[in-house]
């Protein structure tokens, strides 16, 4: 009986994911910004000279904030669950997190309202995410947000140990590219 309910839930989740993908594909055009796959600040090693302040609504009891992440390099990826590029980016992060253990903070921020928490939890579980997952809203992606404008997802941000942003990238960033920007942190 429990297996049948689980299969039903997973089938329903698959339908929701397909509808989300279709909705994203048919939605309004993203605002103009850097081309997908290009960094916002190419060639700059330190786009920001001050630590950033942020706090996100975590799915569990792990705190996702600038205060909790200080002391280690931090990689934050902003995604939407219906985005296939975001799933690929999460796969890279999951592998990196398994390799790095607790030397680096990894965080996944799903740009979904709190009412979609079940969808985000299922997404993270399906992709094997063991690091903190949080929710973010539209204020995070705007120019006034702590990380500046994010024209599309996935967007990856790398923060130094003190919380300064050292790199920001829109589109898929492979592990070797992420590691090259983490050297020396």
Task: Give per-residue pLDDT as tens, 41-91.
Answer: 444 333 568 999 999 999 999 999 999 999 999 999 999 999 999 999 999
**Strands of 55-58's sheet, edge to edge?**
64-65, 55-58, 133-135, 105-110, 74-79, 155-159, 165-170
Peptide bond into 37 cis (omega under 30): no
The answer to whether 173 and 86 have CB atoms below 8 angstroms apart is no
pLDDT score of 26 = 46
pLDDT score of 49 = 82
pLDDT score of 7 = 57
Mean pLDDT of the residues in the chain: 84
pLDDT score of 40 = 47
Where the chain has pLDDT below 50, the residues are: 15-16, 18-19, 21-46
Structural tokens at position 6: 């689980």
């Amino acid at each position: 009986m429990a297996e049948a309910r689980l299969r039903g839930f997973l089938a329903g989740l698959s339908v929701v994911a397909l509808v989300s993908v279709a909705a994203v594909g048919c939605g309004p055009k993203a605002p103009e910004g850097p081309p997908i796959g290009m960094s916002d600040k190419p060639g700059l090693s330190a786009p920001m000279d001050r630590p950033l302040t942020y706090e996100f609504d975590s799915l569990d009891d792990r705190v996702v904030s600038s205060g909790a992440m200080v002391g280690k390099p931090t990689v934050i990826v902003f995604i939407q669950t219906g985005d296939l590029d975001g799933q690929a980016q999460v796969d890279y992060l999951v592998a990196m997190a398994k390799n790095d253990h607790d030397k680096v903070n990894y965080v996944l921020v799903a740009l979904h309202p709190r009412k979609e928490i079940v969808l985000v939890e299922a997404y993270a579980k399906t992709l094997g995410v063991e690091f903190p997952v949080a929710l973010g809203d539209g204020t995070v992606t705007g120019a006034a947000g702590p990380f500046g404008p994010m024209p599309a997802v996935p967007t990856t941000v790398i923060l130094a140990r003190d919380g300064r942003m050292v790199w920001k990238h829109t589109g898929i960033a492979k592990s070797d590219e992420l590691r090259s920007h983490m050297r020396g942190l």
